[in-house]
Amino acid sequence: MKHIPFALALFAAFPAPLAADQQNIIAEQVWSRASMGENRPGVAYMELHNTGSGTRTLTGVETGRAAMAQIHQTSTSASGVSQMAPAGDIDILPGTRIALEPGGLHIMLMQLDRPLAEGEYYHLTLIFKNGDNVEIRVPVLAASARGPGQ
């Protein structure tokens, strides 16, 4: 008996898998850091969960707030030197999630229209190879934030 309300709650919380292949990418833990000054780049992080049955390929990002938005990968060499490079297409296998997080994959927003201000939200489009793009709303946290909710 105890399990029925839980199952109902699950059904209510995750109706997405029932809706065919639509919106089977769920973006969680989405956040961005406040940026400083006129031309420093912004950054956005999130977890992308593929709840669908097919692989989805993330090819890029777009936002009205930045003239150029790219997915970058930070890598650190054995001698401790870090660098960033465009990440290229990212496959998200069915049932898996990828993390865009500090020191790893991240969305880099260059040539912002104005600095990202703590407390505001902006919209970002995740562009997928199959054309089924995902719109997300990104909260801007403090410049010193280390993760969502911090």
Partner 1 sequence: MISRRAFAAYLAGGAAVASALLLPGWWQISGPGAAPPLPRLPLPLGEMSFSMQDHTGAEVSPQGLVGKPSLVFFGYTFCPDVCPTTLSDISTWLSGLGADAARLNAVFITVDPGRDTLPAMAQYMQHFHPAISGWRGSLAETDKAVAGFRASYTLGEGAEGEGADYAVEHTSSVFLFKADGRLAALIDLHEDRAQAVAKIQRVLQR
Which chain residues interact with partner 1 by CB under 8 A?
Answer: 33, 35-37, 39-43, 68, 72, 74, 76, 78-84, 102-103, 106, 108, 110-111, 142-146
Distances, alpha carbon 25 to alpha carbons 13, 34, 53, 86, 109, in Å: 15, 26, 11, 22, 21
Tell me how far, at minimum, the Cβ of 24 lies from partner 1, in Å.
Answer: 28
The count of other CB atoms within 10 Å of the CB of residue 42 is: 24
CA 43 – CA 65 distance, rounded (Å): 12
CA 117 – CA 140 distance, rounded (Å): 6
Query: Measured from the CB atom, is 69 or 134 closer to partner 1?
Result: 69
Of 139, 57, 143, 61, the residue nearest 107 (C-alpha) = 61
Tell me how far, at minimum, the Cβ of 107 lies from partner 1, in Å.
Answer: 9
Tell me how far, at minimum, the Cβ of 42 lies from partner 1, in Å.
Answer: 7
Tell me how far, at minimum, the Cβ of 51 lies from partner 1, in Å.
Answer: 27
Angle at 136 between CA 33 and CA 13, to 5 degrees: 115
Query: Measured from the CB atom, is 42 or 52 closer to partner 1?
Result: 42
Query: Measured from the CB atom, is 10 or 110 closer to partner 1?
Result: 110
Query: Measured from the CB atom, is 22 or 150 closer to partner 1?
Result: 150
